[in-house]
């Protein structure tokens, strides 16, 4: 029996309905109305949501599709706003499948952050994975291969997550999605955590981000960079806040991501690695687990959704206008794309933590939480990650895209110009939101799940941040001659499983194939041959013995029948005469006895 307790407009329903409409409608104006109107309607619906809605009793299980508390609402607003900005940025795209996939993806993410139980969470989790892969597939062989690897990785993570959920319910655990591991981590909790960590791109489960995101379309990657990893941050904050192992994992994640970004040549792969690095801040803060630390993780997720989205918008505009994405192929685009430069630099400085930006506010909360928790080692690791972030995104990226020298093979870049109006408008709005979060930190802190307030613009913290950025800029200016990007391929840990897969294939094609041929030959000699001979003997016995006996009986019956047919003349006198003769014969036999 299925029963809903009340009716509320779930934002995921609006996005799913729009996705179906976008997949079916061919009219351009109607598509644009759906693209721009649906996020607005979803935001209005989100603002009016009750604390709990959509409860359902199904097969003896209580499901909760809507839990709109402070933690959920912050991520819900962030995702809806980014869906609106991404839709505006992609307005000129004519692919119905991409638009439908983007909104189905948004439906999955909004469903996850509102889910109050593991079953509904898993349903939306799978919708998110399935829809997002269509934003990666773009018709090229590289994007097809990257999308296939992406869906395989997420399918494996989903199986681990499902195994944890099933084991939890089987062992008597609750289906409700609440804090886990309070009394110690069970096997089910570990499986659930592993499924979450894969979506958060925690090393060594991180390579799918840099593998898949650069192959997505310029508009599709806006949704990708905002949704999957940040949804994982939400479920970690909901289920595993205060789990100690997450703090060092997150700090290491921040350093590993920024380390790859520093030496990467492809602009979009640089930003993909920075997703890993910035999510590391959030995972580290969740591991600390104090109210202020969780606030810092949520604030950094909000600001990073905007900042990273703005950076991907700027680099996507460069790729769209020039057809190139590698730094050694770009250069001197400042005059050709001045507005794109200014807007992208706002995102670069915000993600580097410059004061008056959202990145400064969120990083300040995280660092303050580490200071209060007396974790100087983790604080140092995140500080080094901040230096690498400013180097790779604040200096290296703009230097070689907009201010690099014009090479002979990049003269075509000078024919490029700023992107269409809708892309510039989306970038402008995203930059304005990032600056507003930095200039009015109280507005952002009012949305955070806990009441713990942090003083953002203390003189010591502002001066320390400016000194750190200035020292980094000076040091990099001194060694600028060694920073020139070089073409090549950067190996990540995905090389291990790719190499492992090739070794498995060679093993299957070599020794295992030869073993299979030997087993097949042995089977032919010891199994098929004798079986065929036995089958021939049984066939001969069947034909000569059983069939001969049956055929003989049939022939005798036929002869007897023919004999009986002769004496059946149909004349009554013959039958009376025959009976008299039979009577006298019987009488003679009796008398002779």
b/e 136-162 (16+ beta carbons within 10 angstroms → b): bbbeeeebeebbebbbebbeebbebbb
Q: CB atoms < 10 A from the CB of 402, how many?
A: 23
The model's pTM is 0.82
- Non-local (6+) Cβ contacts of 41 within 8 A are 14
**Structure tokens of 178?**
């609440």
Return the pLDDT at 145. Answer: 85
Mean pLDDT check: name the lowest of 4-18, 210-224, 304-318. 4-18
Of 193, 189, 228, the closest CA to residue 208 belongs to: 228
- Tens of pLDDT along 528-549? 667 777 777 777 776 667 766 6
Q: What are phi and psi of 494, to 5 degrees?
A: -65, -20
| Buried-state track 506-520, b at ≥16 Cβ within 10 A, e below 16 | eeeeeeeeeeeeeee
Q: Is residue 118's pLDDT more than 50? A: yes
Decide which of 507 and 127 is more confident: 127
Task: For the chain, give the percent of residues with pLDDT over 90.
Answer: 45
- For residue 428, give both structure tokens: 């402008």
Q: Which helix (H) or strand (E) holds 62?
A: strand 61-67
Residue 3: strand, helix, or coil: strand
Residues 6+ apart with CB under 8 A from 127: 104, 105, 107, 108, 111
CA distance 189 to 249: 17
Residue 408 has pLDDT above 50, yes or no: no
Per-residue pLDDT tens over the stretch 336-392? 889 999 999 999 999 998 999 999 999 999 999 999 999 999 999 999 999 989 988
Name every residue whose Cβ is closer than 8 Å to that of residue 110 and which is 6 or more positions away in sequence: 10, 11, 12, 15, 42, 46, 76, 79, 80, 124
Q: Is the CB of residue 106 less than 8 Å from the CB of residue 126?
A: no
Q: Is there a contact between 228 and 199 (Cβ–Cβ < 8 Å)?
A: yes
Which of these, 49, 51, 42, lies nearest to 69 by C-alpha position?
51
- DSSP state string for 193-252: HHHHHHHHT-TTS-HHHHHHGGGS-TTHHHHHHHHHHHHHHHHHHHH-TT-TTHHHHHHH
Tens of pLDDT, residues 461-485? 788 888 888 888 887 777 766 666 6
Residue with tokens 């905007």: 306
- CA-nearest of 361, 372, 346 to 462 is 361
Q: Which of 27-31, 294-298, 570-574 has the highest mean pLDDT?
A: 294-298
Answer positive or negative: Cα dihedral of 131, 84, 394, 372.
negative
């Amino acid at each position: 029996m299925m029963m809903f307790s009340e009716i509320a407009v779930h934002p995921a329903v609006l996005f799913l309905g729009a996705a179906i409409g976008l997949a079916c409608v061919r009219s351009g104006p109607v598509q644009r109305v759906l693209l721009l109107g649906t996020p607005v309607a979803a935001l209005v619906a989100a603002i009016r949501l009750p604390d709990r809605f959509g409860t359902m009793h199904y097969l003896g299980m209580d499901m909760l599709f809507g839990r709109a508390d402070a933690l959920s609402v912050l991520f819900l607003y962030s995702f809806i706003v980014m869906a609106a900005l991404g839709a505006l940025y992609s307005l000129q795209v004519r692919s119905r499948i991409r638009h439908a996939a983007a909104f189905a993806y948004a439906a999955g993410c909004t469903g996850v952050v509102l889910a109050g139980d593991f079953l509904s969470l898993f349903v939306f989790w799978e919708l998110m994975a399935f829809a997002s892969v269509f934003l990666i597939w773009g018709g090229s062989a590289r994007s097809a291969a990257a999308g296939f690897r992406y869906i395989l990785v997420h399918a494996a993570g989903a199986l681990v997550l499902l195994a944890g959920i099933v084991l939890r319910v089987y062992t008597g655990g609750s289906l409700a999605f609440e804090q886990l591991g309070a009394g110690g981590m069970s096997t089910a909790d570990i499986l659930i955590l592993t499924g979450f960590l894969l979506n958060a791109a925690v090393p060594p489960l991180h390579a799918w981000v840099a593998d898949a995101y650069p192959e997505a379309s310029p508009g599709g990657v806006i949704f990708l960079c905002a949704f999957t990893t940040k949804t994982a941050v939400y479920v970690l904050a909901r289920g595993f806040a205060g789990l100690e192992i997450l703090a060092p994992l997150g700090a290491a994640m921040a350093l590993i991501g920024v380390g790859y970004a520093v030496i990467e040549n492809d602009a979009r792969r640089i930003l993909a690695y920075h997703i890993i690095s910035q999510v590391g801040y959030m995972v580290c803060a969740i591991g600390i687990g104090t109210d202020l630390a969780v606030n810092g993780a949520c604030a950094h997720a909000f600001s990073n959704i905007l900042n990273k989205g703005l950076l991907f918008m700027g680099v996507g505009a460069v790729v769209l206008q020039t057809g190139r994405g590698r730094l050694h192929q770009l250069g001197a685009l400042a005059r050709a794309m001045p507005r794109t430069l200014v807007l992208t630099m706002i995102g670069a400085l915000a993600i580097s933590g410059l004061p008056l930006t959202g990145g400064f506010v969120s990083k300040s909360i995280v660092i303050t939480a580490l200071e209060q928790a007396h974790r100087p080692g983790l604080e140092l690791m995140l500080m080094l990650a901040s230096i690498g972030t400013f180097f790779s995104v604040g200096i290296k990226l703009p230097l070689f895209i907009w201010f690099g020298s014009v090479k002979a093979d990049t003269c075509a870049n000078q024919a490029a110009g700023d992107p269409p109006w809708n892309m510039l408008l989306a970038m402008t709005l995203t930059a304005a939101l990032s600056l507003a979060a930095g200039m009015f930190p109280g507005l952002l802190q009012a949305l955070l799940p806990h009441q713990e307030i942090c003083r953002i613009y203390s003189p010591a913290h502002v001066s320390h941040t400016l000194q750190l950025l200035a020292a980094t800029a000076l040091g990099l200016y001194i060694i600028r001659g060694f920073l020139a990007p070089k073409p090549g391929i950067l190996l990540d840990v995905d090389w291990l499983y790719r190499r492992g897969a090739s070794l498995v294939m060679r093993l299957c094609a070599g020794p295992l194939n030869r073993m299979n041929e030997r087993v097949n030959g042995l089977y032919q000699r010891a199994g098929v041959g004798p079986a065929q001979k036995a089958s021939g003997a049984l066939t001969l016995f069947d034909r000569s013995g059983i069939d001969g006996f049956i055929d003989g009986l049939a022939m005798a019956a036929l002869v007897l029948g023919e004999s009986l047919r002769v004496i059946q003349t149909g004349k009554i006198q013959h039958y009376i005469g025959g009976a008299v003769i039979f009577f006298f014969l019987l009488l003679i036999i009796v008398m002779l006895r």
